[in-house]
Structure 1
Amino acid sequence: MPSCQTGAALSSGHDQAGENKASRLLEMLRQVKDFRAARGKMYDLHFVLAVAVVATLAGAANYRQIGRRSGDLPQRLLAQIGAPYDYFRAAYVAPGESTIREVLTNVDADLLDLLVGVWLHECATRDHDGDLVISLDGKVLRGAWTTGNKQVKLFAAMIHGEGVVVAQTQVPDDTNETTQVENLVKILKHKRGRTIATADAAHTQFRTAILLHKRGIDYVLTVKRNQPTLYRQVFERCLPLLQQTPGHDEEERSHGRIKRWTTWTTTAEDIRFPFARTIAVIRRDEFDLEGNRLTREYAFIITNLRGGRAAPAAIHTHVRLHWGIENRVHYIRDTAWQEDACRAHLGNGPRNLAILRNLALGLLRLHGVKKVKEALEHIAADRNRALQFLAT
């Protein structure tokens, strides 16, 4: 007779710690197909993934750290996330590093990314009645390499404001992120308002604008000299605006500097770009505290939005929040989880570890956490604290 049974099959004699707060998360993870043979399998796949999520919430950055966190998870928490019960030890048991490494190296990363993104999207927009604005941007995992001896690069979509990654895909070795827009946005559906995508100048291409339009997604794109004809047209149209009263002016003080953003908009009439309706120029000035200007730069924007959605204040907000994907996702993954220092490179491991970080970060964001590093340390001090973040 086997000594272990899954937590779901236990009688009421074993402590289930009350209502299972992680039930919705576990339900999502159960949809991931198990690649392992049934013979000799001790742990359900969704349980191994849940352990990895909890360990990531406790700051684990690689296989070894996830294995160590797994080894000292409290019994109450293990029961909540579906651990098997060992009658010989009279305790719930958790997988070690080798099992975790095998699972994360071989589990289907496309499916896991899809499930996690859709689930976080649903959680983040459950009570979202307005427009959904997302940033599109790529990130290189500098410590991870593919079988083709290329660095692993991921392309993701993050909801403005919430800072939650709701879609991600891996960029093939022989191409770049501009070819992966369709793969990324095909799962994004928002029925309560418009979906608006912001992206940097690399995506300011005819093909991308047409693709987003076909998907019912509006765009706000930066125009630079990689599109010389378009840049010249937008520049010449915007130049007279700088002599006029701006439509929006915003200023803030931080880090011993005064920063000011000034925005003008006009119609995109005669601008040759698919479905373009509005263009804008944003002037960014930086001053010292005595009012001496230190820097000045201009950003040119093109969008298919018009009316109130393309008002100067709205354009300013979209462009500023776009870079939140760098500060609120990429930077956090690098600093809180040392992503660029992680040397995992076999199979789907690098991408699956990144998915775990996106999921952990999303769970923290959904619960209003602003200081991520402090939250990870708080959970690491008492793993039972992870339960409040697993509940969605």
Structure 2
Amino acid sequence: MSNEPVDCEQLDISSLLAMLGEIPDPRKAKGAIYSLRYILSTSLVSTMTGAKRLSEIGRWAARIPQPLLARLGAPYDHFLGRYRVPSEKTIRRVLQVIDVAALDARIGCWLFAQTTWENGEHITIAVDGKVMRGAWVDEKTQVKLLAAMIHGRGLVIGQIRIPDDTNEITQVENLLDQLPEMPGHPTVTLDAAHTQDDTAKDIVKHGMDYVMTVKGNRPTLKRQTFERVLPLLQEPAHHEVQERGHGRIKNWQTWTTKADGIEFPHVNKAAIIRRDEFDLTGVRLTREYALALTSATGTHATASYFHSHVRGQWGIENEIHYIRDTAWREDDDPIYTGNTNQAFASLRNLTIGILRLNGRRKIKETLEDVAADRHAALDLLVTACSGSKR
């Protein structure tokens, strides 16, 4: 732990604290020693050290430097001559009953507000579900979440709990309702499980376009799409990308055409993507095909558009789910404590977003840096809205 003094007043984290202060406090005001904003901010800093469990959150919170506690809004204990820290028991009780829907909505809107966009830049959102394998409602039911992430930015701007009696396919509209207002005409990408008529209608109704892949769960739609794009394979690819790495050469070729004869809501164009993988001598190892549909119109719905959007859908798995599983071991330990599981996921999404807004792509290594020097957390909490963003 560093003993270097920190001039906390010169680092403005008011935007973050204001956002946390907007979340409704489920507790009775009488007898509450700590504000909800302070409990959440100390829990966030502890999460930024890589703390995985409630016991670790409590221990790391107790180690936060006094200047940082003061900046987070800690009450001062005149008898002890120091700022007070919430105990693990206090944090546990709050996270059990916190309004996680409000927490996720505020976090998503705040992270989106911190993002800067180039003039005319197109926004694309990946939607995907995750089963929290270590989080249980009871002995037979696991917690399931559905999240939305900005392609290329790795920022989760929406997350909802999937009711125990249904699945993620039914919850896309509820997730879209939670998303912040976005400029332009964003695109939503989803995997083949979400290639449903109602989902397509919901996305377009929200003023967005979709890019969906088509697989065997929709056999008639798959046949119609395949028959439409099959003749394209006799032509040169409309778009081609080759990448080399990890002892392999990967080549993507994409063809696209109007979606005539394909019966699907608001569909405008169809595409087929061929992915070949070779060893370094040029011997082909695998070949795969993907079929995709989009509601996008105009000149931007090109083969390049299909390629980037279909590949980008995997980003939410690699940039969010995988990170939470490896950096915080999210799937390891079962927890039976009210809303705590989703609150943990929310704080981890917020942590990942804050680190990425600071240009940190190596999440686990940054968590280790903060654990070694808690003073480093304050500099990371500075945001663009404060005017102090680097």
**Is 1:172 the counterpart of 2:163 in the alignment?**
yes
Residue 293 of structure 1 corresponds to which residue in structure 2?
284
- In the TM superposition, what is the alpha-carbon distance from 1:40 to its structure 2 partner? 2.5
In 1: Cα distance, 2:292 partner to 2:75 partner? 55
Could you state the TM-score of these two structures normalised by the residue count of structure 2?
Answer: 0.94
Is the 2:228–2:260 Cα contact (8 Å) retained in structure 1? no
Cα distance change, pair 127–91 in 1 and its aligned pair in 2 (3 A):
farther
- In the TM superposition, what is the alpha-carbon distance from 1:22 to its structure 2 partner? 1.7
Q: Which amino acid aligns with 1:273?
A: F
Q: Which amino acid aligns with 2:336?
A: H
Residue 240 of structure 2 corresponds to which residue in structure 1?
249
Q: Which amino acid aligns with 1:71?
A: A
- Residue 29 of structure 1: which of 14, 20, 25 is its match? 20
Is the 1:201–1:224 Cα contact (8 Å) retained in structure 2? yes
Measured on the aligned residues, the alpha-carbon RMSD in Å equals 1.5
**Is 1:130 the counterpart of 2:149 in the alignment?**
no
**Is 1:278 the counterpart of 2:284 in the alignment?**
no
Q: Report the secondary structure of 2:230's partner residue.
A: helix
Q: Report the secondary structure of 2:300's partner residue.
A: helix
Residue 34 of structure 2 corresponds to which residue in structure 1?
43
- In the TM superposition, what is the alpha-carbon distance from 1:39 to its structure 2 partner? 2.9
- In the TM superposition, what is the alpha-carbon distance from 1:372 to its structure 2 partner? 0.6
Q: Which amino acid aligns with 2:253?
A: T
Is the 1:21–1:387 Cα contact (8 Å) retained in structure 2? no
Residue 65 of structure 2 corresponds to which residue in structure 1?
74
Could you state the TM-score of these two structures normalised by the residue count of structure 1?
Answer: 0.94
Cα distance change, pair 36–192 in 1 and its aligned pair in 2 (3 A):
closer
Residue 217 of structure 1 corresponds to which residue in structure 2?
208
Is the 1:220–1:303 Cα contact (8 Å) retained in structure 2? yes
Identity of aligned residues (%): 51
Structure 1 unmatched ranges of 5 or more: 1-14
In 2: Cα distance, 1:264 partner to 1:20 partner? 50
In 2: Cα distance, 1:198 partner to 1:186 partner? 16
- In the TM superposition, what is the alpha-carbon distance from 1:88 to its structure 2 partner? 1.1
- In the TM superposition, what is the alpha-carbon distance from 1:125 to its structure 2 partner? 4.6
Is the 2:11–2:379 Cα contact (8 Å) retained in structure 1? no
In 1: Cα distance, 2:252 partner to 2:125 partner? 21
In 2: Cα distance, 1:47 partner to 1:266 partner? 54
In 2: Cα distance, 1:144 partner to 1:102 partner? 17
Is the 1:220–1:304 Cα contact (8 Å) retained in structure 2? yes
Residue 376 of structure 2 corresponds to which residue in structure 1?
385
Cα distance change, pair 259–361 in 1 and its aligned pair in 2 (3 A):
same
Cα distance change, pair 188–40 in 1 and its aligned pair in 2 (3 A):
closer
Structure 2 unmatched ranges of 5 or more: 1-5, 384-390
- In the TM superposition, what is the alpha-carbon distance from 1:308 to its structure 2 partner? 2.7
Residue 153 of structure 1 corresponds to which residue in structure 2?
144
* Structure 1 runs of 4+ with >6 Å offset: none
In 2: Cα distance, 1:221 partner to 1:324 partner? 15
In 2: Cα distance, 1:144 partner to 1:27 partner? 30
Q: Which amino acid aligns with 2:337?
A: L
Compare 112-121 and 274-283 and name the one that shifted more. 112-121
Residue 326 of structure 1 corresponds to which residue in structure 2?
317
Residue 357 of structure 1 corresponds to which residue in structure 2?
348
